[in-house]
Amino acid sequence: DIQMTQSPSSLSASVGDRVTITCRASQSISTYLNWYQQKPGKAPKFLIYAASNLESGVPSRFSGSGSGTDFTLTISSLQPEDFATYYCQENYNTLSFTFGGGTKVEIK
């Protein structure tokens, strides 16, 4: 099984800050990596696919990068509506899919 590890598990930041979240896979997954945002009491929202491609309608302040085992999600200028928990997820094979443990972005 592929394991996905996110860091940090939580962070505090201010509006306007640049925020970077890291996701590491236990084996190489090329760019088969997706990112989701989840707010309290809501379902996850799909943000980025194939490591760096923004889903339609996602603000351009979000960006993703990486390949192989190391990936990052960056929010270039944190907005009030961006305070949430972010999850990475691999879809390297089609038999099973794994999510990371999440990174909670809190207000400083």
Partner 1 sequence: QVQLQESGPGLVKPSQTLSLTCTVSGDSVSSGSFYWTWIRQSAGKGLEWIGRFYTTGSTSYNPTLKSRVTISIDRSKNQFSLKMPSVTAADTAIYYCARAVGGGGIFQHWGQGTLVTVSS
User: Closer to partner 1 at the Cβ: 51 or 78?
Assistant: 51
Residue given tokens 């207000």 in the structure block: 107
28 binds partner 1 (CB under 8 A): no
Length of the chain: 108
Distance CA 50, CA 62 (A): 14
49 binds partner 1 (CB under 8 A): yes
Q: In the complex, what is the shortest distance from the CB of residue 17 to partner 1, in angstroms, rounded to a whole number? A: 26
Q: In the complex, what is the shortest distance from the CB of residue 18 to partner 1, in angstroms, rounded to a whole number? A: 26
Q: Is 22 exposed, middle or buried (0-12, 13-18, 19+ CB in 10 A)?
A: middle
Q: In the complex, what is the shortest distance from the CB of residue 27 to partner 1, in angstroms, rounded to a whole number? A: 16
